[in-house]
Chains A and B, each alone.
Chain A
């Protein structure tokens, strides 16, 4: 299959353009897809990959351009029409109704004009169908009880049941643990062997190198190039083509001497409204000069735990120790937390107010510093905002008067960092600090966090294994609400276990 494409593409996109308001998501894109290939659509966030694939799957209509399927021009008004033509897409947010069963989800939308639905018989059929593709799934199970990997298999099954020949995946590994990713790759290869054509969107170079037989790269809405996987020598070369300049894939970590323990928690437990624990018996500690990473597959309790660590969750039991003082965890949300800063995952809604200027946003977490009786020292705040923007190289079109909404994701994150780090904190809790950022911005954020070790303890919450292993000294892995193990990231043998630990496998 690596010996060059056959002559006729099964799918040919030519001159595809698509704009959303003023932003051009796709500009004059040509793409050929050949039968039986696993085709990676590679690009950074915002490169237009999802838009292009959504056009192919009938979710969006292109402003210009044509799609030819097996030589014939096609126009899809909605996803159903694309599916009828044999093209189906598994979105990043799974399109499954959680309260329905696997069978109900697969059958959904297929019963036009029919009345009686014999569920027992349908379940038998689905079981038999799933067996044919060797996809293990219980057809009578409710989707809300399934793991992310199982849900993805339901999505695949749903498309196969509708006779999709071309399957598109939008970042299929984003919500999976490393062993689940292996399983998925096996399924995709098997589908390819059965004659299906696979397209998958990704920005992870490793996935492209291991899985793809053909690679197309998008950059800022344009097609950079399309080539067979065999033509690529290294990850580095791939990264350069994707970003458009030389990039470093390794970060340098100058050694920093560790200091005293800045922050520690013991026995942290909290339950949701129905009495089920969100996380249980969590203990961890961070010292000055080190980065402790808290990781796990999304949905294993890191979200609520991070909120509790940052003092945003009420009714937590356990103890919190910060800078030598101890609090009951229930009192931690009201404790004075000077010296601690929190960089939330959602920089658009939690870390900033989109409609306010950068000066006002700069004041958000620093009000006390600029208070002069009942007044605010606005000119001083403005001066310091300008200084912070310069120090962190934030590209703001109107300087301090730019609204937060006008900043790109990377610049907004750098702005948030500039604000939070301006006061030389003793503890930094950074939650998914590079999610959605391009490689350039990611590198800058990483360097910033590493530099902070000189005077601070850093707690990095991240589901990105590469980020965790690049930055952290120690890694605490969460699984089903517990920290199942904390390992040293500097010991290669220990670090290699993190992936398995994320799936709950201890040895």
Chain B
């Protein structure tokens, strides 16, 4: 029982950054903008969250700073893709490269410093509920917020006016434009929202998961989030499933390390989340032929009027 609680709690805990980033990326991609800068935005978010939190002593300011940093970087990407109609792939890669270097440079003085961090949920009497109580007691507010965001984004896409505009802009911007939908503002807004969530996902790492700043501390989770969007076929509900899969493999790795059971070499375990991502991408590509789920038709394409 304790083993199960251990695994479940860590699964949930480790899945949140990927979940946040992939929810943001879903919204961005549904509007037709491919953002390969997620990894960079998460890194910058992690650093900004830690630094602002440490200097101000306020968690709220820390998370706010992280979201602002992610959005700032997303604004660069949006400007290149929407305004200048640059290649979205190149712009996204450039943003990640820029952010990796920048966070490493600016973050050097903060390595090893102790900052603030977000504590666990006060669950009160709920703690007595078997399984759920102890698992929940190891989570935090941000984790609940991220989970709440799943049905919220799903509803926003399917059952709201802005969602209709976002889907239309991502599928056929020309038709959307002809119907009077403001294509560029919507794409800007969705890209910024993606940056905001990526930044928040980064701050989760530096303020909640492993408090502190470490160079390259996202460890490729931004890339995994992008892969999860494809796995999720651009639907928020499935993104949660993908994130939990990632979290589950991370938890297993901790579990085997903690129990000392050398069933599988540790380096293979550490490889698992990434192997899973490659495997998922392979499967999805194969399954795509059977119309398993299609990308937004205008994904990656700049929009010109006339």
A109, B164: Cα distance in complex, Å:
9
User: Is A471 interfacial (CB-CB < 8 Å)?
Assistant: no
On whether A98 and B171 interact (CB within 8 A), knowing A115-B162, A117-B161, A273-B289, the answer reads yes
Q: Which of B19-27, B121-129, B177-185, B269-277 contacts A (4 or more CB under 8 A)?
A: B177-185
Q: Are A107 and B291 in contact (CB under 8 A)?
A: no
Contact A83–B171 (Cβ < 8 Å): no
Residues of A within 8 A of B197 (CB): none
| Residue A99 at the chain B interface, CB threshold 8 Å | yes
Complex interface residues of chain A between 52 and 110 (CB less than 8 A to chain B): 59-60, 79-80, 83, 91, 94-100, 104-105, 107-110
Whole-angstrom distance between the Cβ of A443 and the nearest chain B Cβ: 33
Known: A99-B297, A117-B163. A108 touches B290 (CB 8 A): no
B178 neighbours in A (Cβ, 8 Å): 79, 91, 95
Partner of A108, one of B160, B168, B289, B306: B168
B161 touches A97 (CB 8 A): no
Q: How far is the CB of B253 from the nearest CB of chain A, in Å?
A: 38
B235 located at the interface, meaning its Cβ lies under 8 Å from any Cβ of chain A in the complex: no
Q: In the complex, which residues 173-213 of chain B have their Cβ closer than 8 Å to any Cβ of chain A?
A: 174-181
Q: Known: A107-B164, A109-B181. Is A97-B176 also a contact (CB below 8 A)?
A: yes
User: Are A108 and B159 also in contact (CB < 8 A) when A97-B171, A98-B172, A274-B291 are?
Assistant: no
Expressed in whole angstroms, the Cα–Cα distance for A221 and B44 within the complex equals: 56
A111 with B172, Cβ < 8 A, contacts A117-B160, A158-B179, A273-B289 known: no
Q: How far is the CB of B39 from chain A (nearest CB, A)?
A: 29
Q: Which of A91, A105, A115 contacts B161 (CB 8 A)?
A: A115
Q: Is the CB of B306 within 8 A of A96?
A: no
In the complex, whether A372 has a CB less than 8 A from a CB of chain B is: no
Whether a CB of chain B sits under 8 angstroms from the CB of A114 is: yes
| CB <8 Å contact, A115 and B160 | yes
With contact pairs A111-B161, A115-B162, A117-B159 given, residues A100 and B306 touching in the complex (Cβ less than 8 Å):
no
Residues facing B in A123-175 (CB within 8 A) are 158
Q: A104: which B residues are within 8 A, CB to CB?
A: 164, 167-168
**Which B residue sits closest to A83, measured CB to CB?**
B180
Of all chain A residues, which has the CB nearest B296? A99
List which A257-273 residues lie within 8 A (CB) of chain B: 273
In this assembly, does A116 line the interface, its C-beta being within 8 Å of a C-beta of chain B?
Answer: yes
Least Cβ distance of A9 to chain B in Å? Answer: 26
Does chain A have a CB within 8 A of B165? yes
Whether the Cβ atoms of B159 and A100 lie closer than 8 Å is no
Cα distance, A481 to B240, chains bound together (Å): 42
| Chain B CB within 10 Å, residue with most, of A91, A99, A119 | A99
Give the distance to chain A from B183, nearest Cβ to Cβ, in Å: 10
Using a Cβ cutoff of 8 Å, how many contacts connect chains A and B?
76
A104 to B179, CA, bound (A): 11
Residues of A close to B289: CB separation below 8 A: 273-274
* CA of A96 to CA of B297, assembled, Å: 13
Q: Which of A60, A91, A111, A114 has the most CB of B within 10 A?
A: A111
Contact count band on B: 20 to 34
**In the complex, A95→B289 CA distance in Å?**
27
Smallest CB separation, B27 vs chain A (Å): 15
Chain B, Cβ-Cβ closest to A60: B306
Task: List A contacts of B159 (CB < 8 A).
Answer: 116-119
Q: A476–B290 Cα gap in the complex (Å)?
A: 32
Partner of B168, one of A59, A97, A119: A97
Quick one: which of A366-413 are within 8 Å of B by CB? none
Within 8 A of A (CB), among B238-295: 289-291, 294
List A contacts of B290 (CB < 8 A).
Answer: 274-275
How close is A301's CB to chain B, nearest CB, in angstroms? Answer: 19
Q: Give the residues in chain B near A115, CB-CB below 8 Å.
A: 160-162
Q: Which residue of A lies closest to B181 (CB)?
A: A109
Contact check, B162 vs A108: say whether CB atoms are below 8 A apart. Answer: no
- Chain A residues in 8 Å Cβ range of B177: 79
Q: With A115-B161, A274-B289, A274-B290 in contact, do A95 and B168 touch (Cβ < 8 Å)?
A: no
Q: From residue 123 to 175 of chain B, which have CB atoms closer than 8 A to chain A? A: 159-165, 167-168, 171-172, 174-175
CB distance from A111 to the nearest CB of B (A): 3
Judge whether A109 and B172 touch: CB under 8 Å.
no
Nearest A residue to B291 via CB reads A274
Expressed in whole angstroms, the Cα–Cα distance for A97 and B291 within the complex equals 18
The CA of A94 and the CA of B172, in the complex, are separated in Å by 11
A95→B161 contact, CB < 8 A: no
Residues of chain B contacted by A94 (CB below 8 angstroms):
175
> Contacts A59-B306, A80-B180, A99-B297: A109 and B165 contacting too (C-beta < 8 A)?
yes
Shortest distance in angstroms between B286's beta carbon and chain A's nearest beta carbon?
Answer: 12
Give the contacting residue for B175; candidates A59, A97, A111; CB below 8 A.
Answer: A97
Partner of A100, one of B161, B167, B291: B167
The 0/1 profile, CB within 8 Å of B marked 1, for residues 204-247 of chain A is 00000000000000000000000000000000000000000000
Chain A residues with Cβ below 8 Å from B297 are: 98-99
**Hey, which chain B residues are within 8 Å of A158, CB to CB?**
179
Say yes or no: A111-B171 contact (C-beta < 8 A), given A99-B297, A274-B289. no
Cβ-defined partner of B176 (8 Å) among A60, A109, A118:
A109
A109 to B178, CA, bound (A): 9
| Contact A108:B174 (CB < 8 A) given known A117-B159, A119-B159 | no
Identify 6 residue pairs between A and B in the complex whose beta-carbon atoms are under 8 Å apart, listed by A's number: A96-B172, A99-B297, A104-B167, A111-B165, A116-B159, A117-B164
Give the 9 A-B CB pairs with smallest separation, nearest first.
Answer: A111-B161, A109-B180, A95-B178, A80-B180, A109-B179, A108-B179, A95-B175, A97-B172, A109-B181
Please name 16 further chain A to chain B contacts, defined as beta carbons within 8 Å, in addition to the given A59-B306, A274-B291, sorted by A numbering: A79-B180, A80-B180, A95-B174, A97-B167, A97-B171, A97-B172, A100-B171, A107-B164, A108-B165, A108-B176, A108-B179, A109-B180, A110-B180, A115-B162, A116-B159, A117-B163
